[in-house]
A and B are shown apart, each in its own frame.
Chain A
Amino acid sequence: MERLTFDLATQPLRELNTFLHNDAKDGKARHVTVLNPDGAHNIAVGLDCPVEVEIVGHAGYYAGGMNKAASVTITGSAGTGVAENMMSGKVHVKGFASNGAGASAHGGLLVIDGDAGLRCGISLKGGNIVVGGSVGSFSAFMAQAGRMVICGDAGDALGDSLYEAVLYVKGSVKSLGADAQYEPMTDEDIAAVASLLDQAGLDHDPKAFKRIASKRSLYHWNADANQEY
């Protein structure tokens, strides 16, 4: 069967997730539509095969979490921790996403067409995040690897204690976090932003983005800093 629909108003979520973990992996469906998600938690978590899942409506916490290889689309909004710890594949939120979107994602692409809440991309470990709107405070906190493209504005303390992740922001940044700094955009940066925007299906001028990366001054303990960063 190519396409299959699950209606969470009448079918238990466990039935859907069990199908996605077992039958979908065995090739029993390439495309699964999920109706009436109604804010349920843990929809389409832990997938590890290249199935396409379309969630029609608003998803609750951790939708598409730990995703590997699958492509998950949420037509409405997503609750806390969408695509958290994603390994590969793609998660696309067409509405807004709540706090902790893409937290500690190791790979894959998270696209949020609307705004993201606080702590977007916290502890990012190699995944890519493209946000069509703005991100809340403390986004990319301690982000280690990967890239974030923010087409709108950023809140307070963007990129606090950054490691090697790189952030690109088009709009205004309320404040940078400790050890984050603006750096010149190179041709390589412009190409990277263009490629991510293209993958996200968003139309912005890549040259209009600013690059933010780590000063690396927190990498080594400085006893003279007197806790002033």
Chain B
Amino acid sequence: MCGIVGLLVKTPALREKLGELMVPMLIGMTERGPDSAGLAVFGNPLAESQRKISVYSGLTEDGADFNWLGLGHELKAHLGVPVAVEAKGNHAILTFDVAPAIVKRWIAEHHPKLHILSTGRSIDLYKDIGTPASVAARYDFGKLTGSHLVGHTRMATESAVTPDRAHPFTAGEDFCLVHNGSLSNPNGIRRMLEPRGIHFETDNDTEAACRFLEWRLREGDDLETALQKGFEELDGFFTFLMGTPDKLALIRDPFACKPAVVAETDDYVAIASEFRSLAHLPGIKHATVFEPAPEEMYVWNA
């Protein structure tokens, strides 16, 4: 069992309150997912040439005391590129004006225990083990701003409880996916993707779905076409919620084995595994509330 939450604000003024509205949604899914939590938030994109990466230091010896500013200086000294560092305990967002592969390769060589959570122009990603409330407090989720986000609370069934196996998963740039359910053919998907040079970081089944769909998008499919291929190739139980810089997308398996409910008002679209995570939202009593149908695509534009 896991919990999924998603929020997309239509009213620009609510972008400042995105985190504040979301925290009770995430905490509302604690019973469905008490062991880990995470979220990806999408905001205004950086300039065309810039990139940012979210980096997790919880697996290093220094943990939350990791010297992020020192890392920034090292990167500048070795790559000659200024790096802006925004650190919060075991998490930092590094922003720079160079191809991200260069930075990530340098980090992998010199700090192999740092874990890159996301890459892109719009996405920031946080995930860690702990209850949703403690993870939300750790990273001050209540203060996050942006246009839309994808969140998850985890009760592990398919792989161990570790920060890198928490959700959301990312692949490529500015794409993330959260999953409630379990896939029955993740290893088949891996065997199909790995010979194409697609590298996996964990043994988690959700990572296979994430990398499959991102691969389809990179091959030129639009989101709807990629999701249709997902229905054809991904076997098992799933409610998937995905984020791109301008979209939230939701699909459920043909048996609708895992729940989802949507509430929509003029101000926002909110998605959760269960209504109890939506009950606190402003204007919810007059929202259009519906249950997304199995094997249908739901895509909302930010």
A associates with B: yes
Contacting residues, chain B, for A79 (C-beta < 8 A): 259, 274-275
Contacting residues, chain B, for A77 (C-beta < 8 A): 261, 275, 289, 291
**Would B255 and A38 count as touching, CB distance under 8 A?**
no
Q: Quick one: which of A39-83 are within 8 Å of B by CB?
A: 39-40, 57-58, 60-61, 76-77, 79-80
Check A137 for interface membership: any CB of B closer than 8 A. yes
Which of A86-94, A95-103, A142-150, A214-222 lies on the face that meets chain B?
A: A95-103
Contacting residues, chain A, for B293 (C-beta < 8 A): 136
- Interface majority SS (helix, strand, loop, mixed), chain A: loop
**Would B289 and A137 count as touching, CB distance under 8 A?**
no
Check A118 for interface membership: any CB of B closer than 8 A. yes
Check A117 for interface membership: any CB of B closer than 8 A. yes
Whose C-beta in chain A lies nearest to the C-beta of B28? A39
**Would B275 and A38 count as touching, CB distance under 8 A?**
yes
Whose C-beta in chain B lies nearest to the C-beta of A138? B255
Check B155 for interface membership: any CB of A closer than 8 A. no
Chain A proximity mask over B142-173: 1 for CB below 8 Å, otherwise 0: 00000000000000000000000000000000
Chain A proximity mask over B265-302: 1 for CB below 8 Å, otherwise 0: 00000000011111110000100011101100000000
A-B contact count, CB below 8 Å? 49
Q: How far is the CA of A40 from the CA of B277 in the complex (A)?
A: 10
Chain A proximity mask over B124-142: 1 for CB below 8 Å, otherwise 0: 0000000000000000000
Q: Quick one: which of A6-37 are within 8 Å of B by CB?
A: 36
Checking A58, A95, A118, A137 against B279 with a beta-carbon cut-off of 8 angstroms, the contacting residue is: A58
A39-B274, A76-B289, A117-B291 given; A98·B259 CB < 8 A: yes
Q: Quick one: which of A84-137 are within 8 Å of B by CB?
A: 95-96, 98-99, 117-118, 136-137
Q: How far is the CA of A138 from the CA of B279 in the complex (A)?
A: 30
Checking B254, B255, B291 against A98 with a beta-carbon cut-off of 8 angstroms, the contacting residue is: B291
Contacting residues, chain B, for A61 (C-beta < 8 A): 274
A58-B289, A95-B289 given; A38·B276 CB < 8 A: yes
Check B256 for interface membership: any CB of A closer than 8 A. yes
Contacting residues, chain A, for B255 (C-beta < 8 A): 118, 137-138
A58-B289, A98-B291, A137-B294 given; A40·B256 CB < 8 A: no
**Smallest Cβ distance from B99 to chain A, in angstroms?**
46
**Smallest Cβ distance from B254 to chain A, in angstroms?**
8
Whose C-beta in chain A lies nearest to the C-beta of B263? A58
Q: How far is the CA of A38 from the CA of B256 in the complex (A)?
A: 22
Contacting residues, chain B, for A80 (C-beta < 8 A): 259
Contacting residues, chain A, for B261 (C-beta < 8 A): 77, 98
**Smallest Cβ distance from A212 to chain B, in angstroms?**
21
Q: How far is the CA of A166 from the CA of B167 in the complex (A)?
A: 45
Q: How far is the CA of A77 from the CA of B277 in the complex (A)?
A: 14
**Would B289 and A38 count as touching, CB distance under 8 A?**
no
Interface centre among B277, B280, B289 (most CB of A within 10 A): B289
Whose C-beta in chain B lies nearest to the C-beta of A9? B279
Contacting residues, chain B, for A136 (C-beta < 8 A): 256, 293-294
Whose C-beta in chain A lies nearest to the C-beta of B255? A118
Q: Quick one: which of B208-267 are within 8 Å of A by CB?
A: 254-256, 259, 261
Q: How far is the CA of A83 from the CA of B277 in the complex (A)?
A: 22
Whose C-beta in chain A lies nearest to the C-beta of B285? A57
Whose C-beta in chain B lies nearest to the C-beta of A38? B279
Checking A39, A137, A138 against B275 with a beta-carbon cut-off of 8 angstroms, the contacting residue is: A39
**Smallest Cβ distance from B255 to chain A, in angstroms?**
7
**Would B291 and A96 count as touching, CB distance under 8 A?**
yes
**Would A118 and B276 count as touching, CB distance under 8 A?**
no
Whose C-beta in chain A lies nearest to the C-beta of B274? A39
Q: How far is the CA of A39 from the CA of B285 in the complex (A)?
A: 12
Other CB < 8 Å A-B pairs besides A40-B276, A96-B291, 5 of them? Answer: A39-B275, A39-B276, A58-B289, A98-B291, A118-B255
Could you name 10 residue pairs across A and B whose Cβ atoms are closer than 8 Å?
A38-B280, A39-B275, A58-B279, A61-B274, A77-B261, A77-B275, A98-B261, A99-B259, A117-B256, A137-B255
Interface residues, chain B, with chain A CB atoms under 8 Å away: 254-256, 259, 261, 274-280, 285, 289-291, 293-294
Going nearest first, the 7 A-B pairs with the smallest beta carbon separation are A39-B275, A39-B276, A38-B279, A58-B275, A118-B256, A39-B279, A39-B274
